[in-house]
């Protein structure tokens, strides 16, 4: 459970850094996401979730 909390904390750090360093680009990216179909967003999300799981599995293995 401790590792999950650490992972969520790191996610917040990375997300916060992106918004603080590149605020205009993040706003532009969010507007562009409205033009992407839900199925493509879902597929991309699942792909990156699986990729993250594999990375953690390899590192922890």
Domain extent, residue 16, equals 2-60
Opening angle at CA 38, ends 34 and 39, nearest 5 = 145
Whether the full predicted model's pTM is greater than 0.85, yes or no, is no
CB 33 within 8 A of CB 41: yes
Q: Which residues contact 26 (CB under 8 A, 6 or more apart)?
A: 18, 19
Q: Report how many domains make up the chain.
A: 1
pLDDT in tens, 13-58: 999 999 999 999 999 999 999 999 999 999 999 999 999 999 989 9
In the prediction, which pLDDT does 61 show?
84
In the prediction, which pLDDT does 4 show?
87
């Amino acid at each position: 459970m401790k590792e999950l909390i650490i992972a969520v904390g790191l996610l917040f750090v990375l997300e916060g850094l992106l918004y603080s360093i590149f605020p205009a680009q993040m706003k532009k990216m969010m507007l562009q996401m409205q033009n992407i179909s839900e199925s493509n967003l879902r597929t991309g999300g699942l792909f990156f979730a699986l990729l993250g799981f594999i990375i953690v599995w390899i590192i922890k293995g």
